[in-house]
A and B are shown apart, each in its own frame.
Chain A
Amino acid sequence: DTAVSQTPKYLVTQMGNDKSIKCEQNLGHDTMYWYKQDSKKFLKIMFSYNNKELIINETVPNRFSPKSPDKAHLNLHINSLELGDSAVYFCASSQDIQLAGEQYFGPGTRLTVT
C-alpha cells in the first residue's frame, strides 16, 4: 500500500493557468507538508498542516493555497502559474507536529510551466 500518494506525477501547463496537485496519506498522521524542490535538488518547505490547521507558511506567494478537506488530504492549489513555479513538489506526512518526527514523502509531482 502506498503511504503517501500524489496526483498527478507530471503536470505540464501554460503560464496564467490555475492548477491543483493532490496529496493523500493513509498512515493516520496528523501533520502534512508541501515542499518545493528546485533544479539543484534543494528543498524548501512551503506549508504544514496539523489537523486541518495551517501551522507554517514560509514566505510563499499567495498564489499558492493549501486546501485540506480532512487530515488525510492536503491539496496544493496554484493560481496564475508562472515560469518560476516549474519544480518538483513533494508532499509528506508525519505523526508529530513541529517537524519533530519521521516524515514519509510522496513520489513528487513534476510541474512544468511553459
Chain B
Amino acid sequence: AQKITQTQPGMFVQEKEAVTLDCTYDTSDPSYGLFWYKQPSSGEMIFLIYQGSYDQQNATEGRYSLNFQKARKSANLVISASQLGDSAMYFCAMTLNRDDKIIFGKGTRLHILP
C-alpha cells in the first residue's frame, strides 16, 4: 500500500536559517510524483514544488528545493534563508501516475522565530 510519512509534527527554526522538512514514501509503483504544499493559517493549500519519479535532477523553485533520494524513498523539502512568512503547516503528498490518486502525509508545523 502507498504511504507518506512525515515524522516531524513540529519544528522551530531561526529566521534566515535553512530548514529541512522530512518526507518518506512507500510505493511499489515505478511511476509517481511527489508534491509539497504549504498551508498557512488561512487554510488554503499552496502548491510549492513537484518531483517526478523519473526526473534526474532535484526540483527547485526559488527558495524551495526537493532533496529526492529515490533509493531511500525520501523527498525532503529544503527551504533556504527562511522567513517569518514561512511559518505554516507543510504537507508532503504523492500521486501514482497509473490512477492519479493522491496521498497526503500528516503534515509538519514549521515555526520561524525572529
Contact surface of A with B, Cβ cutoff 8 Å? 33, 35, 37, 40-45, 48, 56, 58, 88, 90, 92, 98-105, 107-108
Can you list 30 pairs linking A and B with CB atoms under 8 Å apart? Answer: A33-B43, A35-B45, A41-B47, A41-B95, A41-B102, A42-B47, A43-B44, A44-B44, A44-B45, A45-B44, A45-B45, A58-B43, A58-B44, A88-B102, A90-B104, A99-B41, A99-B89, A100-B89, A101-B9, A101-B107, A102-B9, A102-B107, A102-B109, A103-B104, A103-B106, A103-B107, A104-B106, A105-B103, A105-B104, A107-B103
Once bound together, how far apart are the Cα atoms of A44 and B41, in whole Å? 13
Q: When A41-B95, A43-B37, A105-B104 are in contact, do A100 and B109 touch as well, CB less than 8 Å? A: yes
B39 proximal to A (CB < 8 A): yes
Interface secondary structure of B, over-half rule:
strand
Contacts of A103 in B (CB 8 A): 89, 91, 104, 106-107
Once bound together, how far apart are the Cα atoms of A92 and B41, in whole Å? 16
Q: Which residues B18-55 have CB closer than 8 A to chain A?
A: 35, 37, 39, 41, 43-45, 47, 50
What residue of chain B has the Cβ atom nearest to residue A48's Cβ?
Answer: B43
What residue of chain B has the Cβ atom nearest to residue A45's Cβ?
Answer: B43
Q: Is the CB of A56 within 8 A of B47?
A: no
Contacts of A98 in B (CB 8 A): 41
What residue of chain B has the Cβ atom nearest to residue A107's Cβ?
Answer: B101
- Which of A41, A88, A107 is the one whose CB lies under 8 Å from B35? A41
Nearest 6 Cβ contacts at the A-B interface = A43-B45, A45-B43, A102-B106, A105-B104, A102-B107, A99-B43
Contacts of A107 in B (CB 8 A): 101, 103
Q: Which residues B64-110 have CB closer than 8 A to chain A?
A: 89, 91, 95, 101-104, 106-107, 109
Once bound together, how far apart are the Cα atoms of A22 and B109, in whole Å? 28
Once bound together, how far apart are the Cα atoms of A98 and B35, in whole Å? 23
